[in-house]
């Protein structure tokens, strides 16, 4: 572990906040939350869509969440004498706390109904939604972190994955970062989120189905074979080191999409070895630098950790990070229009081999 100190406190509304500090005995936990916050909202409602066999979370309270506040009122900066933010201490390294406007939580409304029609069961969105602040520096970005800080973040995600996987009913833990207003980011401060889902998301479910079918047919692990084939082909590889390879998927959906995968089959972040955790940062930071140099301006992106599910099908998982951007040219964004949004059939304007070449040269 690279964090020397892990200290948990409760915010004034009862939400948990954890300081992960790189130096021991920082004393940050001695600062109380001076705000008088109302109780957090009840969790979302999950509604079943029988037409596609998927659940949808309905969270009306999220409409009122903080939207692009001025930097002196940033809820993710440390608190100052004139402004009490979400983080009571005057400084921090990495901090995690329960989202004030969570998509998933254990706060179930007392009058929760159980169905809307015979075909549409309803259940509470039990799970957890956390915010991870990567640095106290408001104007920084993940790509500007040191490899040592990235290592701390990985250790924090391992800690959170282990804890959240143990919560009742959690099916999958999903750490992710949305970067850039083009993606829909509502706070500029460098941060990510972690969702603990109460059901296996549709995308994961189709990946599990594909992996199970492949295992039955060949006896092999699907992601292992895909990664081996990509490393052998080489044409879409962006970079690699002893433990990780970064490559553009052969059938990339997004104009610029990269997957970073450990060479050893690992189910989730907690299962990464010390050496694998250390080796991740340098390669990921290199890829993020290429993203930003591609068009000479900060690239909006989504960075998504795919981890093994908690329950059935867990052994079919293979930890990997999926990084992708909606920017397809310096002044053009890829929108999810008719084919993608209505039918889920992606049409990519950039040939993946060309995207890989551009990223290698950036
Ligand atoms: Zn800030």
Q: Tell me, what's the pLDDT at 180?
A: 86
Residues 18/162, Cβ–Cβ less than 8 Å:
no
Highest mean pLDDT range out of 22-26, 164-168, 327-331? 164-168
How distant, in Å, are the alpha carbons of 22, 68, 172 from that of 129? Answer: 24, 20, 12
Distance, C-alpha 264 to centroid of its chain: 21
Percent of the chain with pLDDT over 70: 97
HSE-CB for 246 with a 13 A CA cutoff:
27
Phi/psi of residue 226, nearest 5 degrees: -65, -45
Residue 63 confidence (pLDDT) above 70: no
- Band (259; pLDDT cuts 50, 70, 90): very high
Distance of CA 69 from the midpoint of ligand 1 (Å): 9
For 19, the token pair is: 């300081």
What average pLDDT does range 148-173 have in this prediction? 97
Q: Tell me, what's the pLDDT at 65?
A: 61
25 Rama class: left (phi>0) / alpha (psi -120 to 50) / beta: left
Distance of CA 85 from the midpoint of ligand 1 (Å): 9
H/E element, 274: helix 274-294
Percent of the chain with pLDDT over 90: 78
More reliable by pLDDT, 326 or 9? 9
Residues 340/255, Cβ–Cβ less than 8 Å:
no
Residue 337 confidence (pLDDT) above 90: no
- Band (275; pLDDT cuts 50, 70, 90): very high
Residue 60 confidence (pLDDT) above 80: no
Q: Apex CA 310: angle with CA 168 and CA 110, to 5°?
A: 25
**Residue 191 falls in the annotated catalytic set:** yes
Q: CA nearest 105: which of 177, 187, 41? A: 41
Residues 193/131, Cβ–Cβ less than 8 Å:
yes
Average predicted confidence (pLDDT) for the chain: 93
Q: Tell me, what's the pLDDT at 68?
A: 67
Stated pTM of the model: 0.95
Residue 334 confidence (pLDDT) above 90: no
Residue 224 confidence (pLDDT) above 80: yes
Distance of CA 73 from the midpoint of ligand 1 (Å): 8
Sheet strands side by side (includes 45-49): 54-58, 45-49, 120-124, 115-117
Distance of CA 245 from the midpoint of ligand 1 (Å): 32
Distance of CA 316 from the midpoint of ligand 1 (Å): 39
Weakest mean pLDDT among 99-113, 135-149, 344-358: 99-113
Q: Tell me, what's the pLDDT at 109?
A: 81
Residues 197/311, Cβ–Cβ less than 8 Å:
no
Q: Tell me, what's the pLDDT at 165?
A: 97
- Band (62; pLDDT cuts 50, 70, 90): low
Determine the angle formed by the axes of helices 202-218 and 222-233, rounding to 10 degrees.
80
Task: Check 42, 189, 191, 320 and give the catalytic one.
Answer: 191
Residue 66 confidence (pLDDT) above 90: no
Cα dihedral sign for 274, 299, 192, 337?
Answer: negative
Q: CA nearest 305: which of 282, 280, 279, 286? A: 280
For residue range 14-43, what is the model confidence (pLDDT) as tens digits? 999 999 999 887 788 899 999 999 998 889
Rounded to whole angstroms, how far apart are CA atoms 227 and 207? 15
Q: Pairing relation of β-strands 301-306 and 244-247?
A: unpaired
Distance of CA 145 from the midpoint of ligand 1 (Å): 15
Residue 220 confidence (pLDDT) above 90: yes
- Band (129; pLDDT cuts 50, 70, 90): very high
């Amino acid at each position: 572990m690279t964090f020397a100190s892990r200290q948990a406190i409760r915010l004034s509304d009862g939400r948990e906040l954890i300081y992960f500090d790189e130096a021991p005995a920082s004393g940050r936990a001695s600062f109380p939350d001076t705000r008088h916050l109302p109780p957090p909202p009840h969790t979302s409602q999950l509604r079943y869509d029988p037409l596609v066999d998927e659940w949808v979370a309905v969270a009306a309270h999220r409409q009122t969440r903080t939207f692009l506040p001025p930097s002196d009122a940033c809820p993710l900066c440390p608190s100052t004498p004139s402004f009490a933010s979400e983080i009571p201490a005057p400084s921090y390294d990495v901090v995690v706390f329960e989202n004030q406007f969570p998509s998933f939580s254990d706060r179930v409304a007392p009058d929760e109904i159980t169905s809307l029609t015979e075909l549409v069961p309803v259940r509470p969105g039990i799970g957890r939604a956390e915010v991870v602040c990567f640095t106290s520096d408001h104007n920084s970005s993940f790509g500007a972190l040191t490899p040592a800080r990235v290592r701390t973040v990985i250790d924090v995600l391992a800690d959170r994955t282990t804890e959240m996987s143990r919560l009742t009913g959690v099916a999958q833990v999903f750490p992710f970062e949305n970067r850039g207003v083009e993606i829909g980011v509502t706070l500029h401060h460098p941060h990510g989120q972690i969702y603990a889902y109460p059901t296996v998301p549709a995308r994961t479910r189709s990946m599990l189905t594909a992996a199970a079918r492949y295992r039955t047919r060949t006896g092999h692990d699907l992601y292992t074979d895909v990664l081996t084939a990509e490393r052998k082909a080489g044409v879409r590889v962006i970079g690699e080191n002893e433990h990780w390879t970064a490559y553009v998927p052969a059938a990339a959906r997004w104009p610029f999409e990269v997957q970073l995968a450990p060479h050893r089959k690992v189910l989730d972040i907690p299962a990464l070895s010390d050496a694998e955790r250390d080796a991740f940062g340098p390669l990921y930071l290199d890829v993020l630098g290429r993203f930003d140099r591609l068009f000479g301006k900060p690239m909006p992106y989504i960075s998504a950790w795919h981890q093994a599910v908690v329950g059935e099908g867990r052994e079919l998982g293979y930890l990997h990070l999926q990084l992708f951007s909606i920017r397809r040219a310096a002044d053009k964004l890829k929108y999810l229009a008719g084919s993608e949004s209505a039918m889920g059939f992606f049409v990519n304007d950039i040939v993946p081999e060309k995207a890989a070449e551009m990223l290698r040269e950036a």
